Amino acid sequence: MLVVEQIKEFDPTTMKLYSFSPQNLQALRKERNLTQAQLADKAGISRSSIGFYENGEANPTDDALRALGKALDVLFVCDWTDDEWEKETPRFKKKQG
């Protein structure tokens, strides 16, 4: 899920590269002494989304991943395929039938 524009934005002298996971997101937020609400405001996404991401109940979109990385001054990468990403969020799949 690493996007070419993200690579161009990456400055190895000031930013660190992190694999996205709920644990990494929460650890980075706490390391920066941010509440979920503060991170949400800084990233321009809802506080409830931050909670879902940190609890592993949802995966961020590419745009949200980019915004979270920018807000935390890191670059998040994800090496999952779209199919694997979808399988990891069964709660948010459309109900069939």
For the stretch 47-95, pLDDT in tens is 999 999 999 888 888 889 889 988 998 887 766 555 544 555 444 433 3
Indicate the fold that domain 4-87 takes in CATH.
434 Repressor (Amino-terminal Domain) (1.10.260)
Confidence band of 9 (pLDDT split at 50, 70, 90): low
Tell me what pLDDT residue 93 has: 38
pTM of the model: 0.69
Helix (H) and strand (E) counts for the chain?
A: 6, 2
Q: Mean pLDDT over residues 33-45, rounded?
A: 97
Confidence band of 19 (pLDDT split at 50, 70, 90): confident
The answer to whether 43 touches 67, Cβ cutoff 8 Å, is: yes
